[in-house]
């Protein structure tokens, strides 16, 4: 019998129960499901999805546990957990959380301590074999990973395939903090491939070279901020969230704690975007330039996977001091959520004579192709440049860091010119082999949180089978 733990907060509150039901129906009728919720509202939502007397379904509510033991979560106890679970320095992990970075010292200490206690309780009480969650993007998940490593609970996630035409139809499995495929072969250049695998990779690459296409998941983002009539009633939502929603005042549910502070963000983002337009410039393609597409923040792509350069201005500062006299940096804003970045960031960029902020609506592919190289922390533009056999400098840890032509440089300061001098354009066949290896790890099923299609029964069955196959493989290791 498998003991399977599932994150069940939004947006997993529909997908996780559906996957578990399919696993019990089609793969392991005896599997026990432990569902992690943040508050009583989520707990009721999950409980209503199952028969009242289903003894194989267990709901573990984080808020209930945290509030019951809050006074026990002391600095001294956190120091003990830090050592016990090899989590030193703990602040590295706290700063990887996009919610806690805005909270005070005492709250961060007690919350971190409480999360260790919570996961220790869940994993040991229910002898959990596998724990399913999003990619590590919060301390909630990061500590689950750390505790699981010690007690024998295997963390895993299912992430959409990026930039290979499979974004909303396939996923891959990962079981580490940096979104790596656990089964991606390191010897992909010498590995044997079938004719079918090579043809599939060749067809995709040829199509991409002929007509560059953005990943399918980008259809959910990339719209210019507009004034909306609902902005007028947002102050009423703030009042309701602040004074009449008990969940936003629940210190034990830290993901939603004081969520009312973000109620007015849509208006703020709109005016920020309008104010930021004065900083954007049109690129001069006749110049030599390094293309740096700014990352969305706060997100796991920087907070977890590129923590050293999570303050992107620090990376750009180092890069700006390392490029030749005849080269500039074109930094282009991420257009997915315009206005979320404080305009003081743009003011700081404007103080660098060799950095130019480029309008977010300029063609990214033209910038890639005409640049000297693409510098990125973990971004999709690096994958796109790699596919075009264009130089890529990567400052973080990401899935494609070992791909052909990608230079993984942990310290960019004074290392740009030597890296470019040593870079050799990879053979097209090397890219095809990399793609064949990458695509061979693809598993059928859409897991993208913003796609409603992931909840369709046929898709749920595909994802459930993928997970169960993974369980069997890991059990035999």
Residues lower than pLDDT 50 in the chain:
none
Q: What is the pLDDT of residue 340?
A: 87
Q: What is the pLDDT of residues 284-299, one digit of tens each?
A: 999 999 999 999 888 8
* 322: phi then psi, degrees, rounded to nearest 5: -120, -10
Q: Record the tokens describing residue 437, joined without a space.
A: 């290896």
Q: Which superfamily does 278-436 belong to?
A: Glycogen Phosphorylase B; (3.40.50.2000)
Domain ranges of the chain: 3-183+442-475, 229-273, 278-436
Q: What is the pLDDT of residue 215?
A: 62
Q: How many whole angstroms from its chain centre is CA 193?
A: 30
Strand runs (DSSP E) across 17-102, as ranges? 32-37, 57-61
What is the SS3 assignment for 32?
strand
Q: What is the pLDDT of residue 212?
A: 77
Measured distance CA(389)–CA(373) in Å, rounded = 10
Alpha helices (H) along 152-294: 195-210, 234-243, 265-276
Whether 139 contacts 100, CB under 8 Å? yes
* 392: phi then psi, degrees, rounded to nearest 5: -130, 125
Q: What is the pLDDT of residue 217?
A: 54
Assessment of whether the complete model's pTM goes beyond 0.85 = yes
- Dihedral of the alpha carbons of 449, 450, 456, 458, in degrees to the nearest 10: -60
Measured distance CA(248)–CA(246) in Å, rounded = 6
Measured distance CA(310)–CA(302) in Å, rounded = 5
Q: What is the pLDDT of residue 107?
A: 98
Write the class of the CATH domain 3-183+442-475.
Answer: alpha beta
Q: What is the pLDDT of residue 167?
A: 77
What is the SS3 assignment for 311?
coil
Q: What is the pLDDT of residues 339-375, one digit of tens each?
A: 889 999 999 999 999 999 999 989 999 999 999 999 9
Whether 349 contacts 279, CB under 8 Å? yes
Residue-wise over 57-94: b if at least 16 C-beta within 10 A, else e?
Answer: bbbbbbbbbbeebeeebeeebbeebbeebebeebeebb
Euclidean distance between the first and final Cα of the chain, in Å? 17
Measured distance CA(158)–CA(126) in Å, rounded = 23
Q: What is the pLDDT of residue 449?
A: 87
Measured distance CA(375)–CA(156) in Å, rounded = 29
Helix or strand run (H / E) with residue 5: strand 3-7
Strands 373-376 and 288-293: what pairing? parallel
Measured distance CA(109)–CA(23) in Å, rounded = 38
């Amino acid at each position: 019998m498998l003991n399977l733990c599932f994150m069940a907060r939004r947006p997993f509150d529909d997908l996780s129960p559906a996957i578990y039901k399919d696993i019990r129906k089609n793969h392991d009728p005896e599997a026990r499901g432990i569902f992690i919720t943040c508050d009583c509202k989520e707990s009721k939502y999950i409980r209503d999805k199952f028969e009242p007397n289903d003894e194989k379904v267990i709901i573990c509510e984080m808020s209930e546990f945290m509030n019951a033991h809050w006074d026990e979560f002391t600095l001294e106890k956190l120091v003990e957990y830090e050592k016990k679970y090899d989590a030193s320095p703990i602040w590295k992990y706290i700063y990887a959380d996009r919610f806690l970075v805005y909270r005070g010292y005492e709250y961060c200490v007690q919350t971190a301590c409480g999360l260790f206690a919570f996961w220790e309780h869940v994993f040991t009480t229910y002898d959990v074999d596998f724990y399913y969650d999003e990619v590590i993007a919060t301390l909630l998940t990061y500590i689950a990973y750390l505790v699981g490593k010690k007690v024998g609970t295997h963390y895993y996630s299912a992430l959409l395939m990026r930039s290979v035409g499979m974004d909303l139809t396939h996923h891959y499995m990962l079981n580490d903090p940096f979104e790596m495929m656990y089964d991606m072969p390191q010897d992909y250049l010498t590995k044997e491939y079938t004719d079918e695998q090579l043809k599939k990779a060749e067809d995709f690459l040829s199509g991409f070279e002929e007509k560059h296409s953005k990943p399918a998941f980008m259809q959910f983002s990339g719209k210019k901020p507009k004034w909306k009539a609902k902005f007028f009633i947002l102050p009423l939502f703030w009042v309701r969230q602040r004074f009449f929603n008990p969940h936003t005042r629940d210190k034990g549910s830290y993901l939603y704690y004081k969520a009312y502070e973000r109620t007015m963000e849509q208006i703020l983002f709109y005016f920020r975007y309008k104010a930021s337009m004065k900083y954007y410039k049109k690129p001069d393609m006749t110049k030599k330039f390094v293309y740096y597409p700014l990352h969305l923040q706060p997100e796991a792509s920087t907070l977890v996977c590129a923590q050293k350069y999570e303050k992107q201005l620090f990376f750009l500062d180092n890069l700006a001091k390392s490029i030749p006299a005849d080269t500039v940096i074109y930094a282009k804003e991420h257009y997915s959520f315009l206005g979320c970045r404080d305009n003081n960031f743009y003011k700081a960029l404007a103080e660098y004579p060799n950095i130019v902020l480029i309008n977010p609506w300029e063609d990214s592919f033209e910038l890639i192709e005409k640049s000297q190289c693409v510098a990125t922390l973990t971004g999709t533009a690096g994958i796109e440049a790699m596919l075009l056999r264009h130089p890529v400098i990567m400052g973080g840890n990401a899935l494609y860091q070992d791909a052909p032509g990608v230079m993984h440089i942990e310290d960019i300061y004074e290392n740009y010119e030597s890296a470019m001098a040593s870079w050799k354009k990879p053979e097209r066949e090397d890219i095809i082999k990399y793609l064949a290896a990458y695509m061979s790890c693809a598993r059928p099923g859409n897991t993208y949180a913003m796609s409603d299609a992931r909840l369709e029964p046929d898709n749920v069955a595909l994802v459930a089978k993928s997970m169960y196959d993974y369980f069997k493989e890991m059990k035999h290791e």
